[in-house]
Amino acid sequence: MVAGPISEEKTQLVTVVSDGWDGFRASLRRYERLPGRSWTEVGAPIDVVLGHAGYGWGRGLHGRDAPDGRSGPVKREGDGRSPAGVFELGPMYGYESSPPKTSLAYVPATSSLRCVDDPASLHYNRIVSTSDQATDWNSAEHMLRSDDLYEIAILVGHNAAPPVPGAGSCIFVHVWEGPEVAVRGCTAMAKAPLRALSNWLERNAGVLVALPRSEYEALREAWDLPAHD
């Protein structure tokens, strides 16, 4: 029997837990298991940063916005919150032209690749090439940046299939500027542990559980999550 929103066939778990809804600092942990078995932690905790406003319930494997019986802010476009909930991970985008050491699906960033964050666009929350699509947006993120923040960028499956305009877009796990610098709505970390994370993740095997500690503890038994000290 499946417990909560995580399929028993998922064998890798990434948890990102913050102290509260409004803080931007959090801790990332990795776990693995055989299908349907208990989670075992892998490696040491990793410091990460979130959106500058903290967490807000997103749209993912856990459902739309807050699960039944839970409350808290809801993620909206431009609110500075990272989405809370349970999400698929991948594909991975990056600056290398050939696939790096990862089994995740890999897409090289090019100068024409954009992630559209304009809610009025037909391509909202999609990553498209300007060479393939007619531009109907006023705002979009360049996937090939002048800095290294998207050198490794793992897509978080928030507000997907189909996306709801204004519910949040272009969410990644990517390289940070530093431990004291919040992001706009993603999860960010140092490059070396992010590279290790991308090397460890297997295609279609991992999920992200992103929650403030109060919600993690409240949902831990129902969702069959490991203890997060």
| pLDDT recorded at residue 2 | 52
The low-confidence residues of the chain, meaning pLDDT below 70, are 1-3
Decide if 2 is inside a domain.
Answer: no
Residue 49 within a domain: yes
The C-alpha atoms of residue 13 and residue 31 are separated, in whole angstroms, by 5
Q: What is the pLDDT of residue 161?
A: 85
Residue 151 lies in a domain: yes
What pLDDT does 3 receive?
59
Residue 35 is assigned to a structural domain of this protein = yes
In a domain? residue 7: no
Domain membership of residue 193 (yes or no) is yes
Q: How far apart, in whole angstroms, are the C-alpha atoms of residue 124 and residue 58?
A: 16
Q: How does pLDDT run across 84-132, given as a tens digit for each residue? A: 999 999 999 999 998 888 999 999 999 999 999 999 999 999 999 998 8
Expressed as residue numbers, the domain containing 77 is: 12-223
Establish if 186 belongs to a structural domain: yes
Domain-located, residue 229: no
Cα separations in angstroms, 19 against 78, 146, 177:
22, 33, 21
Number of domains in the chain: 1
pLDDT at 89: 98
pLDDT at 1: 42
- DSSP secondary structure code for residue 226 in this structure: P
